[in-house]
Amino acid sequence: MKIVLAPDKFKGSIDSISLCTLLQKEIFSLHPDAEVNAFPLSDGGDGFSQIIQHYFQTNTVSTQTVDPLGRPIVAQYQYAPSTQTAFIEMAAASGLALLNESEFNPMRASTYGTGLMIRDAIVRGAQHVLLGIGGSATNDGGIGMADALGYMFLDKNGDPVDPCGESLTSINELVFPEVDLLEHIQFTVACDVKSPFFGPDGAAQVFGKQKGATPEQIEMLEAGLKHLDDVFIKYIGRSVAQEPGAGAAGGLGGGCDIFLGARLVSGIEYLIESIQLEKVIADADVLLTGEGSVDESSFYGKVVGKLVDLSRKHGTKVYAICGETPLPHKDLNAMGVDRLVALVDFAPSKQFAIANPAEFIPSALAKILQ
C-alpha cells in the first residue's frame, strides 16, 4: 500500500512536520510493508516559514520588528542567498497568535511589523520576496505594511493617520514614498483564502469576528476597506474589490497588490507545484491529509480542499484526520473525503485533544486504516 501523508498543521496543537513524523511511525507499526511518503504542508498562514525551510534548506534570519499592537519583538524569516529570495510569514509579526485573546482588536492592530520585515529583507539584498499571508490579527488593508515601506496616509487636515483598521475611513490622501525601496523587487503573495477585499465574503464580514471585532466594528472595518478601495482608484487608477485573495489577512492581499505590485497566488497551490506533489499523489493508493478543524472553509483554497481535487483527478482515495469537524460524514463523502476521523472522538474533551494530540493519533489512525 502506497500512502502519501500531506497534512496541514493542527493550529494551536501540533505542527505539520511533527504530525507527519508521528503518523509515519504509527503507520509502520500497523502496516510494516507500507510505502509512506511524507509531505508536511502549509497554505501560507502560520507555519509557512517552517515548511519553506523544510523543503528549501533556507537560512533563518532574525530581525527587530513590532507585533500587531506595535510592541517591539524579534521575528524570523527565511532567506535563500543563492536566489536572493526572502520567504516571510506575515503572522510572525502581525499574527493573531502573538496576542492574548483579551488583546484581540482589529481596529487597532496593524501590519506595520510585516512591513519592517520586508524592509529588512530588501536591505539584506532580496530581489524576490515571497510573503505568506494568513493567521492575521489585522484588518488594515495593508496600510501598516505600506507605512513601514515609506507610504504616508493623510487625513483631511493633512496629518498622518495611525495605520490601523480604525483609521481607514479617515484617509484623505495617499503620499508615495520619496525613495522607492521596492523598485525592481519582485513580490509574490501566497494567500490562504480567496476572499474578495470587502463584501459578504470579504475580509471584515467573514474574519472580523474571530479577530475580536464586534458587529458594529465589523461594519466600520467594512466601510474602511470600501473607502480604501476608493483611495486606490483615485491614486492608483484601479480597484481590488473583487480580486480573489485581496481580502486575505484582513485585506493585506489587496494592499500587497497595490503597494508592492505583488502577484497573488494560492499558498497551497504554490507549494504543491514547487515540491511536485501531484506526481506522488497520482501514484499513491491513499492520500492522508488533515488539519485542526475540517469545515466548509477547508474546501475553498486551503490544504484539504486542494488535495481532494488532485486526488479525485487521479483516482486516489482521500483519508483525513482532524481535531474536530462539524460536518456529517455524508457531506464529507460528497466533498471527496472517503474517510475522516476526529481526535475529539477519542479524547475526554476538545481542550485535552488540542493539548495532547499524540495520545489520540494512534487510535484515530488505527480506525481510519482498518
- Cβ partners under 8 Å of residue 243, min gap 6: 196, 197, 253, 254, 257, 264
Least confident of 57-66, 181-190, 297-306: 297-306
- The 8-class DSSP code of residue 58 comes to P
pLDDT in tens, 73-117: 999 999 999 999 999 999 999 999 999 999 999 999 999 999 999
Whether residue 300 has pLDDT greater than 80: no
Query: What's the whole-number mean pLDDT along residues 129-136?
Result: 95
Band of the pLDDT at 274, cuts 50, 70, 90?
Answer: very high
- Asked whether 44 and 8 are in contact (CB, 8 A), the reply is no
Query: What's the whole-number mean pLDDT along residues 278-285?
Result: 97
pTM for this structure?
0.91
The whole-angstrom separation of Cα 173 and Cα 257 is 19
Domains annotated on the chain, with CATH:
48-267 (3.90.1510.10), 277-318+347-370 (no CATH)
- Asked whether 320 and 288 are in contact (CB, 8 A), the reply is yes
